[in-house]
């Protein structure tokens, strides 16, 4: 579990993080959203003990980071945005060095390193890290973050340099970690990426937490109790009726529809289409309006509605 | 919960140094030139020894005991041949080992990763310093073992006193190289990138090398003033080394010459001159203490060719001596302050590097 308790960080009179209070329970994948300079990285640096807060505190599983940094660092796995390794060492040598810092013995190091390199598809790559692409370094960064089997995983812009296969692998790994009861904190400015993996999000703007909640809650709040559903079918679709339906606009000879509703009624729409033997091509929640709503927070620093 | 960061980091740093092409190249050149210098020095020593033995067979040794270069050749003179190389290449080796230790970690962003692991921040800087120190100790240890091997292969066996001087010289050389390693490590914590760290270190290195030479010229005169003017009214003079003595005698009426009396003008000049040159020597000695390279050079002269060193120091003194024998001094007591200065320099810069690193903003 991660706890931010009235956390603030000030640089030359300017607050990079301002009175942040938040609790992220175990087993959750939490997305920390915000534009560049919103305070995401500063928050993470305080959480990892790399910088000290001006006020407030961060706790990992109830242990205060500033007071017991070594104990906390044994419990976390961290991958920064600009992940850096020793370029004169191979991937396994890099991981071996970091594993020694965790006090793992030789056999535990060997088996853990082999397991993780295989997990991120870097097994068998013998060249020095100096010759790695950014994507390969990012994969190695994910492996390094998992080296000590941490209870809390902190990832700063984890998919920035990954190829599609890498992104798919990353999603799979992160979801598995959460399923194993680990807490995952993902910092990103890419809303679509966060929406794919995170169970809840917080929006930071100008150092303040301006919105926070589960993805479903936030969707409802930010879209004003409305969701937009995009439907595309191979055959002409029937007109829908549902107590929560507000509007439905059909186009392209009833092959496409944009539906606004008070709740996510995709399951009911799918049932209706199945009953009428209409083949579904697309049935998605339109996140563009949600993205616009979140973006509207980015430079305002307004409080949550 | 305990951290084992220090030994892990120190071991990695040690291994990194010995895997670094930069380190291996400079150390390789250092070792090869030392071997060449030692081999030629040993050959020259054997030649000088043969020449000395030949002279001994035709003349009394006392006849040749006066002055530098006429006595029995010393094994220490072999090391003198490589001392200049050790000063220059050793300093370069120290700088090359330290200038990017922290700045490179900042550039490659590995410092942030490293500090997110269960290590205290001081373990990182101490581990890097310890790793470098061990690498230097091993490198110099290898060098001195090789030099001993060359001596033994050449049939030269140092005696106890010579051995202790060689060991002290080796220790001083280690401290000199460590001084530049500490300086460059500090610059590595100050500069934003390795290029700037190297430039800053080289600027200070050149300044420390050239400062004593610069300050011994007109700059020294500006600091302590011009030397006293030679008294034109002095009656006569005789010279010995750099000292000068003027006396006059008076003829009495009965034709008996009185004992010569010192000229008061000359005496006054001599007193002021002694004071001036002593003061100048003190300032010069102090400046030498600031520079690790000058310190090592001073130590090497005093250890390796003590006769020459004593002769040079007497040249600056007006103290009388009969020219037949130079006074014996305790060499180790003589170099004590230089040794202390060689300990102080790396301690100061390692301390500064520590403080700077502990306050560094990791973002």
Residue B142 to chain A, least CA–CA distance (Å)? 25
Mean pLDDT, residues A167-180 taken together: 90
Q: What percent of chain A stands above pLDDT 90?
A: 47
On average, the pLDDT of chain A sits at 87
- A2-11 vs A55-60, strand pairing mode: antiparallel
Inter-chain contact B113–A83, Cβ cutoff 8 Å?
Answer: yes
pLDDT at B348: 96
The two tokens of residue B331 are 């060499």
Residues of B with CB under 8 A from a CB of A: 1-5, 8, 12, 16, 19-20, 105, 108-113, 115-120, 361-363
* Range of lowest pLDDT (A111-115, A204-208, A282-286, B113-117): A282-286
pLDDT at B284: 78
Inter-chain contact A71–B5, Cβ cutoff 8 Å?
Answer: no
Mean pLDDT, residues A107-135 taken together: 91
Distance of CA B205 to the CA centre of its chain: 14
pLDDT at A302: 47
Contacts of A85 in chain B (CB under 8 A): 108, 110, 113
Predicted confidence (pLDDT) at residue B147 exceeds the cutoff of 50: yes
Inter-chain contact B361–A51, Cβ cutoff 8 Å?
Answer: yes
Cβ–Cβ < 8 Å for B107, B188? no
User: What pLDDT band is residue B70 in, cutting at 50, 70 and 90?
Assistant: low
The two tokens of residue B24 are 């291996």
Mean pLDDT, residues B242-256 taken together: 53
Residue B103 to chain A, least CA–CA distance (Å)? 13
Q: Which of B5, B112, B362 is nearest residue A101 as measured by Cβ atoms?
A: B5
Q: What percent of chain A stands above pLDDT 70?
A: 92
Its ipTM equals: 0.80
Closest-CA residue of B relative to A81 is B109
Contacts of B20 in chain A (CB under 8 A): 88
Closest-CA residue of A relative to B21 is A88
Inter-chain contact B109–A102, Cβ cutoff 8 Å?
Answer: no
Binning chain A into helix, strand and coil, the percentages to the nearest 5 are: 35, 30, 35
Separation of alpha carbons B53 and A81, rounded Å: 75
Closest-CA residue of B relative to A80 is B113
Contacts of B357 in chain A (CB under 8 A): none
Q: A287 or B88: which carries more pLDDT confidence?
A: B88
Inter-chain contact A84–B361, Cβ cutoff 8 Å?
Answer: no
Chosen from A66, A70, A76 to mutate, greatest number of chain B CBs within 10 A: A70
Predicted confidence (pLDDT) at residue B67 exceeds the cutoff of 50: no
Inter-chain contact A84–B2, Cβ cutoff 8 Å?
Answer: no
Among candidates B135, B12, B107, B122, which has minimal Cα distance to A98? B12
Enclosing H/E stretch for A108: helix A106-119
Does the beta carbon of A70 lie under 8 angstroms from any beta carbon of chain B? yes
pLDDT at A26: 87
User: Among residues 82-101 of chain A, which lie with CB inside 8 Å of chain B?
Assistant: 82-88, 97-98, 100-101
Q: A175 or B264: which carries more pLDDT confidence?
A: A175
What is the tens place of the pLDDT at every residue in B204-220?
A: 999 888 876 777 677 77
Q: Which of A70, A84, A144 is nearest residue B118 as measured by Cβ atoms?
A: A70
Inter-chain contact A50–B362, Cβ cutoff 8 Å?
Answer: yes
pLDDT at A222: 64
pLDDT at A197: 87
The two tokens of residue A136 are 């390969």
Inter-chain contact B118–A102, Cβ cutoff 8 Å?
Answer: yes
User: What pLDDT band is residue A182 in, cutting at 50, 70 and 90?
Assistant: very high
**Positive or negative: CA dihedral B69, B73, B76, B79:** positive
Enclosing H/E stretch for A29: strand A29-33
For residue A84, the SS3 value is coil
Q: Which of B20, B110, B363 is nearest residue A85 as measured by Cβ atoms?
A: B110
What lies within 8 Å, CB to CB, of B64 at 6+ separation is B55, B70, B71
Closest-CA residue of B relative to A144 is B113
**Which DSSP symbol is given to A130?**
G
Q: Which of B1, B12, B105 is nearest residue A97 as measured by Cβ atoms?
A: B12
Predicted confidence (pLDDT) at residue A265 exceeds the cutoff of 70: yes
Residue A83 to chain B, least CA–CA distance (Å)? 7
Mean pLDDT, residues B276-296 taken together: 83
Does the beta carbon of A45 lie under 8 angstroms from any beta carbon of chain B? yes
pLDDT at A224: 62
Separation of alpha carbons B275 and A68, rounded Å: 62
Among candidates B198, B185, B205, B180, which has minimal Cα distance to B342? B180
pLDDT at B357: 94
Residue A171 to chain B, least CA–CA distance (Å)? 22
pLDDT at B223: 75
User: Among residues 115-174 of chain A, which lie with CB inside 8 Å of chain B?
Assistant: 144
Q: Which residue spans within B236-362 are E strands per DSSP?
A: 238-240, 243-245, 247-248, 261-262
Distances (CA, A) of B203 to A292, B153, B347: 55, 41, 20
* Range of lowest pLDDT (A10-14, A67-71, A285-289, B309-313): B309-313
Q: A248 or A304: which carries more pLDDT confidence?
A: A248
Does the beta carbon of A266 lie under 8 angstroms from any beta carbon of chain B? no
Does the beta carbon of A49 lie under 8 angstroms from any beta carbon of chain B? yes
Q: Which of A80, A100, A102 is nearest residue B112 as measured by Cβ atoms?
A: A80
pLDDT at A139: 92
Residue A6 to chain B, least CA–CA distance (Å)? 21
Predicted confidence (pLDDT) at residue B231 exceeds the cutoff of 90: no
pLDDT at B35: 92
Q: A211 or A303: which carries more pLDDT confidence?
A: A211
Mean pLDDT, residues A51-62 taken together: 93
Predicted confidence (pLDDT) at residue B245 exceeds the cutoff of 60: no
* Range of lowest pLDDT (A40-49, A236-245, B237-246, B254-263): B237-246
On average, the pLDDT of chain B sits at 82
pLDDT at B298: 86
Q: B309 or A281: which carries more pLDDT confidence?
A: A281
Inter-chain contact B109–A80, Cβ cutoff 8 Å?
Answer: yes
pLDDT at A206: 87
Mean pLDDT, residues A200-214 taken together: 87
Separation of alpha carbons A216 and B81, rounded Å: 81
Contacts of A49 in chain B (CB under 8 A): 115-116
Q: B216 or A192: which carries more pLDDT confidence?
A: A192
Count chain A–chain B contacts defined by CB atoms under 8 A. Answer: 76
Mean pLDDT, residues A246-253 taken together: 88
Predicted confidence (pLDDT) at residue B321 exceeds the cutoff of 60: no
Predicted confidence (pLDDT) at residue A37 exceeds the cutoff of 90: no
Q: B261 or B146: which carries more pLDDT confidence?
A: B146
């Amino acid at each position: 579990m991660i706890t931010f308790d009235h956390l603030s960080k000030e640089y030359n009179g300017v607050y990079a993080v301002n009175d942040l209070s938040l609790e992220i329970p175990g087993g959750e994948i939490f997305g920390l959203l915000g534009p560049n300079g919103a305070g995401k990285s500063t928050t993470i640096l305080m959480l990892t003990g790399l910088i000290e807060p001006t006020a407030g505190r961060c706790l990992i599983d109830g242990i205060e980071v500033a007071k017991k940094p070594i104990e906390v660092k044994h419990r976390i796995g961290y991958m920064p945005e600009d992940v850096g390794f020793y370029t004169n060492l191979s991937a396994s040598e890099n991981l071996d060095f970091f594993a020694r810092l965790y006090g793992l013995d030789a056999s535990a190091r060997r088996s853990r390193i082999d397991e993780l390199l295989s997990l991120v598809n870097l097994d068998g790559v013998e060249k020095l890290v100096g010759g790695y692409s950014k994507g390969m370094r990012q994969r190695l960064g994910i492996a390094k973050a998992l080296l000590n089997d941490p209870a809390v995983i902190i990832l700063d812009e984890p998919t920035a340099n990954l190829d599609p296969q890498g992104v798919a692998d990353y999603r799979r790994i992160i979801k598995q970690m959460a399923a194993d009861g680990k807490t995952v904190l993902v910092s990103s400015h890419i809303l679509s990426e966060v929406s794919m993996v995170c169970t809840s999000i917080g929006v930071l703007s100008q150092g303040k937490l301006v919105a926070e909640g589960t993805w479903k809650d936030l969707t409802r709040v930010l879209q004003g109790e409305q969701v937009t559903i995009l439907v595309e079918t191979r055959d002409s679709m029937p007109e829908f009726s549902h107590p929560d339906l507000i509007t439905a606009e059909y186009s392209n000879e009833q092959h496409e529809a944009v539906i606004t509703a008070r709740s996510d009624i995709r399951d009911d729409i799918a049932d209706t289409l199945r009953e009428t033997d209409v083949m579904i091509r697309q049935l998605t929640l339109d996140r563009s309006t949600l993205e616009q709503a979140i973006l509207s927070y980015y430079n305002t620093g307004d409080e949550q509605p | 919960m305990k951290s084992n960061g220090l030994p892990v980091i120190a071991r990695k740093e040690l291994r990194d140094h010995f895997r670094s092409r930069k380190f291996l190249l400079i150390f390789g050149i250092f070792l090869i030139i030392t071997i060449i210098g030692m081999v030629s020095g040993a050959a020259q020593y054997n030649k000088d020894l043969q020449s000395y033995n030949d002279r001994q067979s035709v003349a009394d040794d006392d006849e040749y005991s006066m002055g530098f270069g006429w006595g029995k050749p010393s094994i220490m003179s072999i090391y003198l041949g490589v001392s200049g190389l050790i000063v220059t290449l050793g300093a370069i080796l120290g700088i090359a080992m330290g200038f990017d230790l922290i700045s490179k970690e900042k550039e490659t962003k590995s410092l942030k990763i490293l500090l997110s692991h269960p290590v205290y921040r001081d373990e990182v800087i101490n581990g890097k310093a310890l790793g470098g120190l061990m690498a230097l100790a091993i490198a110099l240890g290898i060098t001195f073992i090789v030099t001993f091997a060359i001596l033994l292969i050449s049939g030269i066996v140092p005696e106890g006193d010579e051995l202790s001087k060689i060991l002290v010289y080796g220790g001083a050389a280690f401290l000199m190289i460590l001084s530049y390693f500490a300086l460059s490590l500090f610059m590595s914590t100050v500069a934003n990138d390795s290029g700037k760290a190297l430039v800053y270190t080289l600027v200070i290195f050149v300044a420390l090398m050239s400062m004593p030479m610069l300050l011994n010229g007109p700059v020294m005169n500006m600091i302590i003033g011009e030397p006293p003017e030679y008294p034109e009214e002095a009656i006569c003079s005789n010279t010995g080394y750099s000292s000068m003595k003027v006396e006059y005698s008076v003829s009495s009426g009965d034709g008996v010459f009185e004992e010569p009396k010192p000229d008061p003008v000359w005496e006054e000049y001599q007193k002021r001159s002694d004071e001036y040159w002593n003061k100048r020597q003190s300032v010069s000695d102090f400046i030498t203490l600031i520079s690790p390279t000058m310190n090592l050079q001073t130590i090497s002269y005093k250890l390796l060719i003590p006769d020459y060193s004593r002769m040079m120091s007497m040249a600056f003194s007006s103290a009388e001596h009969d020219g037949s024998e130079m006074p014996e001094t305790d060499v180790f007591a003589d170099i004590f302050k230089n040794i202390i200065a060689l300990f102080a320099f790396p301690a100061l810069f390692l301390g500064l590097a520590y403080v700077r690193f502990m306050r560094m903003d990791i973002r």
